[in-house]
Amino acid sequence: MADEQEILNRWRLVLGKYASGQIPFSSGAVNLKFMDMENVLDYLYSREYGDEQEIRKDRRGGSDGSQLTVPDWLHQVKKLFPRRTVEILERHALEKYGMTELLTDPEVLRRLEPNKELLKTILELKHMMKGEVLSLAREIVRKVAEEIARKLEQEVRVSFFGQINRNASSPVKSARNLDMKKTIQRNLKNYDRERQQLVLKNVYFNSRMKKYNQWRVIVCVDESGSMLDSVIHSAIMAGIFARLPMLDTKLVIFDTNVVDLSGYVEDPVETLMSVQLGGGTNIAGALGYCEGLIDFPFRTMVVLVTDLYEGGGYQRLYSTAKGIIESGAKLVVLTALDMDANPNYDRNAAQTLSDMGAFVGAMTPEELAGWMGKIIA
């Protein structure tokens, strides 16, 4: 019976309070929780009705319970639902129903779960933020960016510094590089039978293959709204690259204008909060700026992150790209740089650039690091 009531309660949550006459909640503490859950869901999803909702409110008269405020609603959401559901409800509130109060009220903002979806929303709505709210938003951006970087940095470093080479010994004596198997095998002849101890006369260490050719990497990012996921990962990856000793990293973002953020490349908060989403694009102008940053073409890689929908004229884009390629520099055109690598881009432009000798494709951040590591090696 309890299981049947649980099923009915869940169906009631799906159907909403307008089904109260047919499927009422039963009494008891558990069912009171379901009633609270319904109030929370109704506060959000009743917005779906638009003008019709006002008619429904009039029909219900004064039968509603206490009216929730946004801070109360957010508190109840976190109290009643698991974290994954909380993130979905917050995302719907912001993206589908325009509850921008979530990002303009400091008390509400403090309670939001820092995650990539919230980071994206902050970047889209940061123009609405001032004072304390803006400071809180910057701290959320920092937390999320650092978490993404923490997950990516180890794999990036392996791609550039190289894997352990177990076929060569290293003069660098570090416990991290200790070759235990080789050390034991080579010292078996020194085994002391009386003491039953292995005497280590020689200790062996693995060699790490390090490639320290200095390269300049110019990350050039299209900040149009459709590229938001790629903008986030590009800024974070540029920050990781900037901490690698073999790379001299430049970061450029563009729409119809070009902004050089190389001075802030190691600070993801400054770079991400500088992004102005939307507007047109002038890819050719951005590439022309990057071309001016090339000092040693054969040790330069231009990583252009864009969907290739050009607003400044394709012929100029092709001409500038051709100049970069013919100089000896590497031109990498990423139509997406995010965890899904699922792009939407101008395929004609992509094919033309590929025919010129550019690498064109979509990559995850890990794939980009691996590809760059092989080129620079």
What pLDDT, on the 0 to 100 scale, is given for residue 320? 97
Q: Please report the pLDDT score of residue 166 as a whole number.
A: 47
Q: Is 40 exposed, middle or buried (0-12, 13-18, 19+ CB in 10 A)?
A: buried
**Per-domain residue ranges of the chain:** 2-139, 164-208, 215-376
- The residue whose two tokens read 């416990």 is 175
| 145 exposure class (CB count in 10 Å sphere: 0-12, 13-18, 19+) | buried
pLDDT in tens, 239-270: 999 998 889 999 999 999 999 999 999 998 99
Higher pLDDT, 312 or 253: 253
Spell out the SS3 assignment of the chain.
CHHHHHHHHHHHHHHCHHHCCCCCCCCCHHHHHHHHHHHHHHHHHHHHHCHHHHHHHHHHCCCCCCCCCHHHHHHHHHHHCCHHHHHHHHHHHHHHCCCCHHHHCHHHHHHCCCCHHHHHHHHHHHHHCCHHHHHHHHHHHHHHHHHHHHHHHHHHHHHHHCCEEEEEECCCCCHHHECHHHHHHHHHHHEECCCCEECCCCCCEEEECCCCCCEEEEEEEECCHHHHHHHHHHHHHHHHHHCCCCEEEEEEEECCCEEECHHHCCCHHHHHHCCCCCCCCCHHHHHHHHHCCCCCHHHEEEEEECCCCCCCCHHHHHHHHHHHHHHCCEEEEEEEECCCCCCCCCHHHHHHHHHHCCEEEEECHHHHHHHHHHHHC
Give the residue among 120, 23, 133, 34 at the shortest CA–CA distance from 81. Answer: 34
Q: What percent of the chain is predicted at pLDDT more than 70?
A: 82
- Written as six digits, the tokens of 272 are 């991400």
Average pLDDT over residues 47-65: 45
**Of 282 and 208, more confident:** 282
pLDDT at residue 174, as a whole number: 53
The residue type found at 358 is A
**CA 198 – CA 187 distance, rounded (Å):** 7
Work out the pLDDT band at 172, boundaries 50, 70, 90: very low
Q: Is the pLDDT of residue 115 over 80?
A: yes
Helices 116-125, 83-91: inter-axial angle, 10-degree rounding? 20
Between 189 and 211, the more confident residue is 189
At residue 147, the pLDDT reads 94
Q: How confident is the model at residue 343 (pLDDT cuts 50, 70, 90)?
A: confident
Report whether 292 contacts 218 (CB < 8 A). Answer: no
Report pLDDT for 31. Answer: 64
Closest by CA position to 268, among listed 370, 150, 366:
150
CATH of 215-376 among 1.10.10.10, 3.40.50.410, 3.40.50.300, 3.40.50.11810: 3.40.50.410
Confidence of residue 93 (pLDDT cuts 50, 70, 90): confident
CB 160 within 8 A of CB 177: no
Most confident residue range from 80-84, 90-94, 247-251: 247-251
Q: What is the pLDDT of residue 118?
A: 87
13-27: pLDDT as tens digits: 777 666 665 676 666
Q: What is the pLDDT of the chain when averaged over all its residues?
A: 81
**pLDDT of 236 over the 50 cut:** yes
Q: In this structure, what are the phi and psi dihedrals at residue 313, rounded to the nearest 5 degrees? A: 105, 120
Model pLDDT for residues 119-164, shown as the tens digit of each residue? 988 887 787 788 899 999 999 999 999 999 999 988 888 887 764 4
Least confident of 8-17, 32-41, 329-338: 8-17
Smallest CA-to-CA distance from 13 within 1, 25, 30, 3 is with 25
Q: What is the pLDDT of residue 341?
A: 74
Residue 322, pLDDT > 80, answer: yes
Residue pLDDT, tens place only, 181-209: 777 877 777 777 777 787 777 777 665 54
Dist. CA 303–CA 230, nearest whole Å: 12
CB 104 within 8 A of CB 83: no
Over residues 29-33, mean pLDDT: 65
* Top-confidence residue, 225 or 290: 290
- The pTM assigned to this predicted structure is 0.68
pLDDT score of 28: 59
Nearest residue to 366 (alpha-carbon basis) of 164, 156, 116, 145: 156
